[in-house]
Amino acid sequence: MKKVFYLHLMVFALQGISNVHSKVQLLNQKAALPQQKSAEYVNVSSLSDIVESLVPTVVSIYAVETNIGVNFNNKFSKSQQEVFLGSGIIIDSSGYIVTNDNVIAGANNIKVKLHDGSELIAELVGGDSKINIALLKVNSSTVLPYASFGDSNQSRIGDQVIVIGSPFGLEGTVTNGIISAKGRDIGSSIVNDFIQTNAVVHMGSFGGPMFNLDGKVIGINSLHVSHSGVSFAIPSNTVLEAVEHLKKGEKIRRGMLNIMLNELTPELNESLGLKQDQTGVLITEVIKDGSAARCGIIPGDIITKFHDKEVKKGRDLQVAVSSTMLNSEREVSLLRNGKPISLKCKIIGNKGEDSEQQSNDQSIVVNGVKFVDLTSDVMKKYNISSNATGGLLVLEVSPNSSWGRQGFRIGLRPRDIILSVKHDDNKKDISVKTLREVVTNIKHDEIFLTVQRQDRMLYIALPNINK
């Protein structure tokens, strides 16, 4: 019995020595770790102070789309409204606001609700659908609080981030998390360097900001994977480049190389006498008068780098070129007959078009709206997808035109297709030649148009400028 008792004591003693030894080892390991890396994280016991300063810079956005219905007697019926909810960030004291382009796309009226509960009508300054960014402007009698952009390139995986928005209409909702990954290419746009986060972002928070702990905007929340805890933000550096152009009133037009290509494979590399692991894209065709043709790129060239971006596959080149503004000059690195060379390329538009060229299409401007006949050539030129066999395409709408968006009134937008006009209870086909005559002869207070907007059919009532 005593032997058993002694054995128990020995076991307990050995366990105690083992535990002490393990703890000493653990403490030594912890002491060997670089403590400075985590010190900033540990010291942030509460985000309340920084959140309190940031919440007033975030707004809720209500994009109102008004559709006028038609009953079975072909009479215009009561209008119907759809409201789309999003978020935005005030970026300067004069009232510029950044949000997602798809938050306000198709809206006839945009309302912005500030943190103090006041509501303002917002004007759409411009947008870039390719990166899903829009710039709004509000006029306020008071100086607005605003946030500044940070450098998204300096953000690191593991950094803490704060997301503020209006999920499901719950304004001023704050969530936080970390940057889970950078440089995500999810194929949804020309952006191939999304910031991934585990911070919760729901419908209504899209278009809102992602902040770092310095209170700087490092991303604009754009999309999420439903119920997964995975969300993506457009990097602030990408956003800021577009915003600077939009603030100047410039249209964002992006270039093309005008080439056909194949991605390199080990089999193709072998047939071309290249290294087995060579990456890049093989040029198979160069379109006449395009960017590539003008700078000397020829079939058989292998592009390995565009400006500062490595080109390993076709998607890399597509994103790099599409992210380049028209008329910018970029260096293209390539292999020609196995030898590396570089060319300076001025990036222009489709088939040699650039921003300085004027359209040869016959057009007409009525009440600040520029129209052109919708032909197959025009549809191809402006990348319009429609089954329409005639009508007018809206090219431009003056901000001061009463046929554009005015308050809650539905109005025309660029890329709208005018299919017909209702005149004396009859629908008439419309063209550049007949538009002014038809408008002049209408005696009613309003002009009713049948309009195709993307995949929707609208019936729009415009004020008669002759009344």
CB 413 within 8 A of CB 397: yes
**Out of 76-80, 372-376, 460-464, least confident range:** 76-80
pLDDT over threshold 90, residue 114: yes
pTM for this prediction: 0.62
Say which residue, 298 or 186, is predicted with more confidence. Answer: 298
> Which residues in the chain are classed under CATH 2.30.42.10?
259-352, 363-463
CB 427 within 8 A of CB 421: yes
Measured between alpha carbons, how far is residue 212 from residues 92, 102, 320, 330 in Å? 18, 24, 27, 32
pLDDT over threshold 60, residue 182: yes
Provide the total of helices (H) and of strands (E) in the chain, helices listed first.
10, 25
Tens digits of residue pLDDT in 321-349: 887 878 889 999 999 999 999 999 998 87
pLDDT of 425: 55
* Contacts (Cβ under 8 Å, ≥6 apart) of 222: 100, 132, 191, 194, 206, 207, 232, 233, 234
pLDDT of 98: 97
Tens digits of residue pLDDT in 24-46: 444 344 444 444 333 344 445 68
* Intra-chain end-to-end CA distance of the chain, in Å: 115
Q: Which amino acid is at 387?
A: N
> Which residues in the chain are classed under CATH 2.40.10.10?
55-138, 152-247
Q: What percent of the chain has pLDDT over 70?
A: 78
CB 252 within 8 A of CB 246: yes
Q: What is the CATH number of domain 55-138?
A: 2.40.10.10
Q: What architecture (CATH level 2) is domain 363-463?
A: Roll (2.30)
Q: Which amino acid is at 439?
A: V
Say which residue, 193 or 302, is predicted with more confidence. Answer: 302
Following CA atoms 436, 442, 443, 444 in sequence, which dihedral angle do they give, to the nearest 10 degrees? -120
**What's the fold here for domain 152-247?**
Thrombin, subunit H (2.40.10)
Say which residue, 16 or 391, is predicted with more confidence. Answer: 391
DSSP E strands, 95-154 = 96-99, 109-113, 119-128, 133-138
Q: How confident is the model at residue 427 (pLDDT cuts 50, 70, 90)?
A: low
pLDDT of 355: 39
Mean pLDDT over residues 426-455, rounded?
A: 76
Mean pLDDT over residues 362-370, rounded?
A: 76
CB 209 within 8 A of CB 58: yes
Q: What is the CATH number of domain 259-352?
A: 2.30.42.10
Q: How confident is the model at residue 76 (pLDDT cuts 50, 70, 90)?
A: very low
pLDDT of 315: 83
Q: How far is the C-alpha of 32 from the C-alpha of 204, rounded, in Å? A: 45
**Out of 76-90, 99-113, 398-412, least confident range:** 398-412
Say which residue, 222 or 422, is predicted with more confidence. Answer: 222
